Structure 1
Amino acid sequence: MDASFKLIISLLLAVLMGAVDSTIVLLALPTITDSLKTQLSLSIWIILIYLLVIAVGTTQLGRLGDILARKNIFISGIAIFTIGSALCGASADIIELISFRVIQGIGTAMVQSNSGAIIADNFLPNKRGRVYGYTAVGYNAGAMLGIVLGGVITTFIGWRYIFYINVPIGIFAIYYAIKFINRSTPVRNKLDLPGMSTLGAALISISYAGVNISTSGITTFNLALMGFGALLILLFIYIETKVAKPLLPLKVFRIKILSYSLFASFFQSLGFLAVVFIIIMYLQGVRGLSPFDSALLLLPGYVIGSMLGPYFGRLADRIGSRIPATVGLLMMAGAIIVYSLITVNSTLYIVLIASGISGTGSSMFFPANNSAVMANSPKELYGMSSGFLRTLANIGMLGSFVISVSIASLGVPRSVAFEVFAGVGKLVGGVSTSFMSGIHYSLYVSMAILLLGAFLSFSRGKEERRSSDITVKS
């Protein structure tokens, strides 16, 4: 086993842990709620606070990796995540558990925001697609694997071990990272504290308002909070034009391939993960399957995606990212067409077929698009680009929750849709038929979002992979 492959293993272990923990709690929510004697409306924040911390933290911590050396931030992130996992498992009440999930989220943000940049540091631009293919397995299959593991571990061992299992894996990942990741040269730079605080406050406001809207409906407070977040985004853009060392140098958006690839990632995450949530809601709420059995029906598609990811990564190295990434998004949109055939009594083979199509599409999109971001990012901004890529993807994941619950609840009370999403509610009789209308509307919205991502992906232009890095003009 050569050093390059061991480096890939260390990256894969780290990103896999973080991705798994984005969803592993989902099937354990009812058990945790009962065990800690709390309410489901509070327990859901075990998932949401983790995603929110990652969405807010990735850009800032990617920039920190540019300044302090990515290896240090990456390894520290694994250690913080591992400690947070142990604390989560030992939580005495729901407030402790939510607080310790914040620690986990900080560690995951440190890992995710620097992993792409570490690949860029250690592999030439025309060799990175294969490596991104492997790490795409960790990012994207990990989220689905988390659902399956959450069901198995909670059912047969106990919910606390969905967190304890990370401790030995984290120790092993730290060992590999220390030994096989090369230390990057720190960039002489400084943190953009005004930009960091403004962007963080904006993301928190918008995300919190979106989650409240999906679970409680539209209120004056939620709309005001959403508007406040939008104003903060405008203030952030203004700040970035004035500070000497901006958190997000707006000049990078002059690089068409880079900017279009970043936003293609956002729309993919926003649309595709909403589909996963919607189909799980269908399988649980309409068909009456357990959360665990529902996850198993979707698993084959993720297995296919995991197997094909490295192959399509190598293809992107040869021909560029435009075609593989665009075709991948179109395949995911095609899978939604198949999903839209589901009815109250349709065969479940439809889900298996659509899952296989979407899994193949994701294996084409992720390694190609991630590689395009880093191959076309200025070397001095590797950490920023890697972090911003994960920030957009995680904001898309939060948005997926809002879309799936809000639109699927058009035919049933919002509280019922929320309980179905959390795996504690089922629908019967005419209510199931009404719920199907919301499901189909959700699928159509997700397909439109993915097609927008495909348009951006194709519009990025022709890309030529070079064996050297690029710089950006001031």
Structure 2
Amino acid sequence: MDKDTGLIISLLIGVLMGAVDSTIVLLALPTITVDLKTELSDSIWIIMIYLLVIAVGTTQFGRLGDVFTRKAVFNTGLGLFTAGSALCGASSGIVELIGFRTIQACGAAMIQSNSGAIVADNFPPNKRGRVFGYTAVGYNAGAMLGIVLGGIITTFIGWRYIFYINVPIGMFALYFGLKHISKGNKIDNKLDIPGATTLGTALILISYAAVGIATSGITKLNIILFAAGFVFLLVFVSIERKVKKPLIPMKVFKIRILTFSILASFFQSLGFLAVVFIIIMYLQGIRGLTPFDSSLLLLPGYVVGSIMGPEFGKLADRIGSRIPATAGLAMMAASVLIYSTLTATSSLYIVLIGSFFTGLGSSMFFPANNSAVMANSPKELYGMSSGFLRTMANIGMLGSFVLAISIASVSVPRYVAFEVFAGVGKLLGNVSASFMGGIHAALYASLIILIVAAILSSIRGKERRGIDVGSASGRAMGK
């Protein structure tokens, strides 16, 4: 096996595992809640803590890759993720599980924040699109595969094995990572601890308040937590204006293509992940399907999209990122329009068609957009840009999770919608009809967000592949 193939295998498995575990817990949540004798409002943090840690961690672990070499941090992430997975499987209580999930998420953040920079280090700009196509398969297929695997493993083996399955796979990826990823050079960079701390605190407070509102409605405590979270966001912005190495690198925003590519990624994540949650709520709560059957209806489109990812990556290498990335977002928006035609008695073939457009759009957007970020990032900002891209996407995912529950539940009691989403309740009669209205409202909100993402993508500017932006001429591109 040649070095490039081994490197791609390691990256693909790494990002696949991280993406799988962002969703694999969803269908296992009711079983975990019962088995560990806890409340749903507590067990939901098995999901939330993972998204929170990744959202904040990717801002810093990309920088660690600059300081200690990306090979070291990426492989450390594989090790932490594998060890955290084993500990999660062995957990005896909800507090332990949430704590070990934090370790697992730290590993995933190390993997995600350095994968893009490793591609940029090891492949020339005119070949990165193809490689990003493969890693896009990991992100794209992983999230959907997680839903399916969660249903299969929990139903036929037991919820602990949704974590244990990562152990042999993680060891396999670590072997390839140690053998095939080049060490690379160290780059002078520093962590932004005050910025990461204030951002993390803000996201935790806002997320805690959002979960509280989703489960029990608006209360004085939830309002206070929301307000405190926004105060910490203001503190974060103030800190970022003063530190020498800010968490949000201002240099990034001086490059037009880089700026609009990252913003497009954020809005895509904010609007797109919510659609998956909403359709699962529809299939379980309105149509009465099991979680496993619901996930199978969404799978075919993602399989097709994942197969096409590398091909669209090659296309981005030839013509640039703007056209395929924008077309991909347009296809995602089209899928939302298709889903918005669903009623309580619609043919389930509509879901299959919508899933096809969603998967195909994802395979067009992710490799092109990711490649645009790294192809147009100055070499000294590879780690920072890679981490920042994943941070914005993960914050979008976190917001999308809250969006799906909050908007879809406007017409029924929030705890009812929350239970449906978690797979522990079903809706019937008039309540079902009312909830359908909430689902349509959530889909329209997602559609608007995806349109914003498409507009940002379309105005990112032209680019030329084959010139490394680390050069003087390259840095001028996109301005």
Task: Tell me what 1:60 maps to.
Answer: 60
Q: CA deviation at 1:421?
A: 0.3
**TM-fit CA distance, 1:37:** 1.4
Instruction: Verify the 8 A CA contact 1:215 1:405 in the aligned structure 2.
Output: no
**Which residue of structure 1 aligns with residue 294 of structure 2?**
294
Matches within 5 A, 1:48-447: 48-447=48-447
**Which range moves more in the overlay, 371-380 or 191-200?**
191-200
Secondary structure of residue in 2 paired with 1:260: helix
* Alignment-mate amino acid for residue 398 of structure 2: L
Task: Please say which of residues 304-313 and 220-229 is displaced more in the overlay.
Answer: 220-229
In the TM superposition, what is the alpha-carbon distance from 1:215 to its structure 2 partner? 2.8
Q: Count the aligned residue pairs.
A: 473
Q: CA deviation at 1:376?
A: 1.1
Distance in 1, matches of 2:439 and 2:159, equals 30
Which shifted more, 338-347 or 207-216? 207-216
C-alpha distance in 2 between matches for 1:219 and 1:112: 36
- Cα distance between partner residues in 2 of 1:204 and 1:287: 34
Deviation by residue 1:250-300 (Cα, 9 ceiling, x = unmatched): 122011110111010011111111000000000000000000000000001
For the Cα contact (< 8 Å) 1:210–1:399, is it kept in 2?
no
1:116 offset after TM fit, Å? Answer: 0.7
TM-score when normalising by structure 1 = 0.97
Which secondary structure does the structure 2 equivalent of 1:244 belong to? Answer: coil
Q: Percent identity?
A: 71
2: CA distance, partners of 1:36 / 1:271: 33
Give the whole-Å Cα distance in 2 for the aligned partners of 1:213 and 1:445. 19
Q: Deviations over 1:86-120 (max 9, x none)?
A: 11111111111111101111111111111111111
Counterpart amino acid of 1:308? M
Q: 1:388 to 1:207 in 2, by over 3 A?
A: farther
Q: Distance in 2 between matches of 1:258 and 1:267?
A: 15
Q: 1:216 to 1:177 in 2, by over 3 A?
A: same
Equivalent AA in structure 2 for residue 59 of structure 1: T
CA distance in 2, matches of 1:194, 1:33: 35
Structure 1: distance between partners of 2:312 and 2:340: 27
Aligned equivalents of 2:416 and 2:5: distance in 1?
47
Distance 1:222 1:464 in 2: 49
Whether the aligned pair in 2 keeps the contact of 1:75 and 1:178 (CA below 8 Å) is yes
Normalised to the residue count of structure 2, the TM-score between the two structures is 0.96
Please state whether the residue corresponding to 2:23 is helix, strand or coil. coil
- Which runs of 5 or more residues in structure 2 are unaligned? none
Q: CA deviation at 1:331?
A: 0.6
Distance in 1 of aligned mates of 2:465 and 2:210: 39
Q: Which amino acid aligns with 1:333?
A: A
Contact 1:213 1:402 in 2 (8 A): no
SS in 2 for 1:21: helix
Shift of residue 224, structure 1, vs aligned partner:
3.2
Query: Which residue of structure 2 lines up, in the alignment, with residue 8 of structure 1?
Result: 8
